[in-house]
Amino acid sequence: MRRHTYLYLTVLPLLLLAAGCTKLQTEPTIQEGIYGSVIERYGDWMPTIGQYPKGGERSIQRKVYVYEYTKMSDVKSFGYVHFDMDTMPTALVARTQSSKNGFFEIALPAGTYSVFIEDEGKLYCSSGDGQGGLNPITVKSGEAREVTLVLDHAVY
């Protein structure tokens, strides 16, 4: 019995302390560019009277691609949200992968870009601007801009 008490009082707290030493990055280290999180929205988000939606969100690990500002009219589309990487008409500027907790950061010079998440081998985006731009993000000089990229698998 004493051996078990020793384990619980000395070894277990040390293991818990060591596990807590691995801090997940959530703050940017860049001075200029974009940082933030990648989340997946899933489930039933249909509005119903007297009930809350049954869907949810979770942080996910995905590749993030930044292209020169791209318009919908310029790409060969597989729908409004999925685009073939091989046929992107604009240049790839940068790419990274979000961590297991969804955090990413990319150093970028000032400018306007189109940002995509890789989903099932395609580039994914679900937003645009009034000029047909695909998921546009503008970075100002000296700005580290926080963004949330949403991979939307929800039903509305």
> Which residue ranges form the domains of the chain, and what is each CATH number?
24-155 (2.60.40.10)
Give the C-alpha separation, 1 to 8, whole Å. 11
Residue 20 has pLDDT above 70, yes or no: no
More confident call, 110 vs 12 = 110
**Local structure of 134: helix, strand or coil:** strand
Which backbone phi and psi does 125 adopt, to 5 degrees?
-150, 150
pLDDT-above-70 percentage for the chain:
81
Give the C-alpha separation, 96 to 50, whole Å. 42
- Whole-model pTM: value is 0.78
Give the C-alpha separation, 134 to 67, whole Å. 10
Give the C-alpha separation, 104 to 59, whole Å. 11
- Contact between 47 and 154 (Cβ < 8 Å): no
Q: Can you tell me the mean pLDDT for 72-76?
A: 83
- What is the per-residue pLDDT across 76-110, written as a single tens digit (0 to 9) for each? 765 567 888 888 899 999 999 999 999 999 999 99
